[in-house]
């Protein structure tokens, strides 16, 4: 089967490497890589155009994963769909029985994993959509799964971070927090990092689920932490963006817009020169790694979409129904596309193409 051979050849080695940029041919999970940096090595065309759309039948808040020539995406209809990146044709569909919210699919070990609002995490055979196993938590799942070797990590609104066997879904450990685990864990140095609804940033050892340290964020947090250079970056509902030193185990800096005081829900994208994230203040913020404002770009509605970066450009959706391409260094607008419905999902980038879903159920592919 064509899809199976592509997946097998592509991923013999891909998940042995924990890269801080997604390779050009794959965006295997939420934010593209274990560190959740939202950065791709893919060569995206200078001039973009819509190549195809897919009608999912209900809102798409889940961000797509791309594995070689296959796109995986979930929808509020309760379907996880595998499509051709080339033309949007459907390979298979799987009905989870519950709406899929913001949980985004992750690929690993020949399987694709996704959480749903019924509290289930499902593991499916990536080549044909056959169900391999399912695990039930006691709360809705908006966190996205992360595959780390033979383990799958995912958060639940039942206040736990779960570590499951990727092979059969058995529970290896679970870690109790003091609030819903909305964030997707960032992975680095054998630890999972989560920014929490209990106002704590936590480092949890993947081997045994033991907490290594915590840092008080001072506010409720919906964003997932981006990890780069020994630091974590994320926004809070107290209208701040934080830079946290993982070595000193403390907050290095705080950023707040001088005039517009609104929460940050979007997860940051991080390069060696910029921290970029959307705000409910209708702005896309470009910061230096020292937490100073480099630029802002104004949209017409809140920006829940988490930006993706490739080739010196920022790609991001807005709830104003537009998809924007910005210059990474200056924030200048290079291009926009009118989708006509809010884009709260985040872009996925691979093989020179960008895929993003909308609230009206359309999945767009640009290239």
Domain ranges of the chain: 2-366
In the 3-class helix/strand/coil scheme, how is 232-243 assigned residue by residue? EEEECCCCCEEE
What whole-number distance in Å separates Cα of residue 204 and Cα of residue 18?
Answer: 17
Residues found in the chain: 367
CATH code of the region 2-366: 2.130.10.10
- How many CB atoms neighbour CB 168 within 10 A? 10
State if pTM tops 0.85. yes
pLDDT truncated to tens, each residue of the chain (367 aa)? 445 434 433 443 333 333 579 999 999 999 999 999 999 999 999 999 999 999 999 999 999 999 999 999 999 999 999 999 999 999 999 999 999 999 999 999 999 999 999 999 999 999 999 999 999 999 999 999 999 999 999 999 999 999 999 999 999 999 999 999 999 999 999 999 999 899 999 999 999 999 999 999 999 999 999 999 999 999 999 999 999 999 999 999 999 999 999 999 999 999 999 999 999 999 999 999 999 999 999 999 999 999 999 999 999 999 999 999 999 999 999 999 999 999 999 999 999 999 999 999 999 999 9
Give the pairing of strands 106-108 and 250-255.
Answer: unpaired
Distance CA 203, CA 200 (A): 10
């Amino acid at each position: 089967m064509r899809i199976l051979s592509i997946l097998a050849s592509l991923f013999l080695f891909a998940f042995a490497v924990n890269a801080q940029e997604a390779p050009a041919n794959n965006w295997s999970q939420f934010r593209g890589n274990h560190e959740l940096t939202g950065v791709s090595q893919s060569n995206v065309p200078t001039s973009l155009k819509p190549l195809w759309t897919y009608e999912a039948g209900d809102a798409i808040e889940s961000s797509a994963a791309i594995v070689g020539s296959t796109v995986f995406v979930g929808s509020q209809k309760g379907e996880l769909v595998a499509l051709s990146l080339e033309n949007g044709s459907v390979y298979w569909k799987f009905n989870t029985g519950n709406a899929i919210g913001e949980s985004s699919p992750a690929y690993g070990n020949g399987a694709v994993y996704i959480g749903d609002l019924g509290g289930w995490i499902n593991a499916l055979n990536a080549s044909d959509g056959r169900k391999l196993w399912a695990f039930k938590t006691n709360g809705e799942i908006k966190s996205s799964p992360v595959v780390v070797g033979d383990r799958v990590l995912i958060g639940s609104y039942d206040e736990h971070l779960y570590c499951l066997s990727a092979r059969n879904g058995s529970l290896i450990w679970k870690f109790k927090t003091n609030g819903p685990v909305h964030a997707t864990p960032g992975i680095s140095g054998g630890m999972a990092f989560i920014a929490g609804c209990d106002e704590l940033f936590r480092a949890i050892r993947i081997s045994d689920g033991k907490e290594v340290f915590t840092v008080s964020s001072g506010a409720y947090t919906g964003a997932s932490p981006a990890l780069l250079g020994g630091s974590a970056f994320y926004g809070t509902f107290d209208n701040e963006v934080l830079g946290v030193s993982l070595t000193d185990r403390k907050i290095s800096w705080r950023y707040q817009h001088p005039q517009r005081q609104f929460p940050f829900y979007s997860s940051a994208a991080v390069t060696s020169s910029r921290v970029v994230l959307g705000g409910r203040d209708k702005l896309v913020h470009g910061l230096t790694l020292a937490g100073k404002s480099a630029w802002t770009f104004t949209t017409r509605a809140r920006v829940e979409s988490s930006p993706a970066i490739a080739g010196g450009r920022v790609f991001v959706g807005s709830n104003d129904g537009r998809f924007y391409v910005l210059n990474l260094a200056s924030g200048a607008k290079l291009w926009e596309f009118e989708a006509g419905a809010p884009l709260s999902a985040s872009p996925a980038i691979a093989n020179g193409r960008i895929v993003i879903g909308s609230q009206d159920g359309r999945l767009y592919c640009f290239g």
